[in-house]
Chain A
Amino acid sequence: MSIEFENPKPIVQMQTMLQSVAENMMRPASREFDECEHSIPWDYVEFMHTAMKAVGGGGGLAPVDDRTNVSTDVKRPPIGYQKLAAQIEMLAWGDVGFYLITPGGGLGAAAVQAAGSPEQKAKFLARFNEDKPTYAAMCMTEAGAGSDTSAIRTRAVLDESTKEWIINGEKIFVTGGDKSFTEYEKLGKGFIVVWASIDPTAGRSGMRAFVVESGTKGVSIVKLEHKLGIRASDTAVISLVDARVPYDNVLGSPTVETNTKGFKGAMATFDATRPLVAASGIGVARAALEFLKEKLKENGVEIRYGLPRNKLTSVERDVIDMDIQLRSAWLMVLKAVWMADNKKPNALESSMSKVRAGDIVTRITQKAVEIMGPLGYSREFLLEKWFRDAKITDIYEGTGQINRLVVARQILGYTGAELR
Chain B
Amino acid sequence: MYSFEPNEEQQMLIDAMGKYAVNDLRPAAHDAEESRELPKKLIGKGWELGLLQASTPEAYGGFGDRSAVTGALAIEEMAFGDLAGALAVMTPSLFATPILLAGTEAQKQEYLPKIVGGNWSPYTAALIEFNFDFDPNALKTSAKLSDGTYVLNGEKAFVPFAKDAEAIIVYADLDGVTQGFIVPKNSAGLTISAEREKLMGLNALPMYRVKLEDVRLPAENRLGGEAGHDFELILASMRVASASAAVGVAKASFEYAKQYAKERDAFGVKIAQKQAIAFMLAEMITEIESMRLMVWEAAWKLDNGKDDSAIAAYLANTGAADMAMMVTDRGVQILGGHGYIREHPVEMFLRNGRGFAMLVGLAIV
Contacts and interface: CB of A to CB of B under 8 A. Distances in A.
Interface of A: 1-8, 77, 79, 82, 305-311, 320-321, 323-325, 327-329, 331-332, 334-335, 338-339, 349, 352, 355-356, 401, 404-405, 407-409, 411-412, 414, 418-420
Given A5-B297, A328-B291, A328-B319, A411 B6 contact: no
A411 B281 contact: yes
Nearest to B303: A3
B137 A306 contact: yes
Contact of B294 (A6, A306, A327): A327
Q: Which 8 A-B pairs have the closest CB atoms?
A: A408-B278, A331-B293, A328-B290, A324-B319, A407-B282, A1-B5, A2-B7, A408-B282
A411 B279 CA distance: 11
Interface string B286-311: 11011101101101110010000011
Report the contact-size class of chain B (Cβ under 8 Å from the partner). 35 or more
Contacts of B35: none
A108 B28 CA distance: 56
B343 interface: no
Nearest to B312: A327
Contact of A332 (B293, B300, B357): B293
Contact of B3 (A1, A401, A405): A1
B2 interface: yes
Contacts of A8: 1-2
Given A327-B297, A352-B289, A419-B272, 6 more contacts: A2-B3, A5-B2, A338-B4, A352-B286, A404-B278, A408-B278
Contacts of A321: 318, 322
Contact of A418 (B273, B281, B311): B273
A412 B293 contact: no
A281 B17 CA distance: 38
B69 A331 contact: no
A331 B290 contact: yes
Nearest to A307: B135
A3 B10 CA distance: 10
B130 interface: no
Contacts of B310: 306
Contacts, number: 145
Contacts of B304: 6
B290 A329 contact: yes
18 contacts: A2-B5, A2-B6, A3-B6, A79-B1, A305-B311, A308-B134, A311-B135, A331-B290, A332-B289, A334-B2, A335-B289, A338-B4, A356-B290, A408-B281, A409-B278, A414-B278, A419-B278, A420-B275
Contacts of B315: 305, 320, 323-324, 327
A308 B135 CA distance: 6
A6 B1 contact: yes
Given A305-B311, A306-B310, A335 B133 contact: no
Nearest to A331: B293
Given A4-B2, A8-B2, A338-B3, A324 B279 contact: no
A238 to B, nearest CB: 32
Contacts of A329: 290
A331 B297 contact: yes
Interface string B261-288: 1100000000011010011011101110
